[in-house]
Amino acid sequence: MEKVVIDTNVLLVSISDRSRLHWIFANLLAGNFTLCVTTEILAEYAEIIERHMGREVSENTLAAITYLPNVEFVNTYYRFKLLKDDDDNKFVDCAIAASASYIVTHDKDFKILAEIDFPKVRVIGTEEFEMILTKK
């Protein structure tokens, strides 16, 4: 099963069943990929989801993520600081520590990772992620 790190904004827009990206959250719930997270990532998920969708949605989403068997909790012991934005670096560090297949994001700041040879971190958008999941 693919190990994936999902950027907060991608997760946020995938929660609502009315979203065109809901298939991401539905596939997470169905166990079709492994979501890799750290406590820092979970805290950001909670903060952003609550800000945009309310406390109840945030709490329910985090509860689901916390108890899903296909969620891997990762400890990061080194900060690579590969991106300019420190808030984004937590996703990169998680992907490296978990040996994740890729980070799913629409954030253009992550594109710089394609130019870095080591440590290698693959970044894909939601369209490519959907193609990967539907091939399985």
Provide the pLDDT for residue 97: 94
Distances (CA, A) of 52 to 17, 91, 106: 15, 20, 18
Task: Tell me the pTM.
Answer: 0.92
Q: Helices 39-53 and 55-67 sit at what angle, rounded to 10 degrees?
A: 150
pLDDT tens digits for range 67-124:
999 999 999 876 667 556 777 888 989 998 999 999 999 987 767 666 666 677 899 9
Q: Where are the alpha helices (DSSP H) in 3-125?
A: 8-14, 22-29, 39-53, 55-67, 86-98
CA–CA separation, 126 vs 128, rounded Å? 6
Element (H, E) at 5: strand 3-6
CA–CA separation, 107 vs 70, rounded Å? 25
**Mapping DSSP to helix (H, G, I), strand (E, B) and coil, where does residue 103 land?**
strand
* Mean pLDDT across the chain: 90
Provide the pLDDT for residue 114: 66
Domains and CATH numbers, the chain: 3-135 (3.40.50.1010)
Q: What is the mean pLDDT of residues 22-51?
A: 97
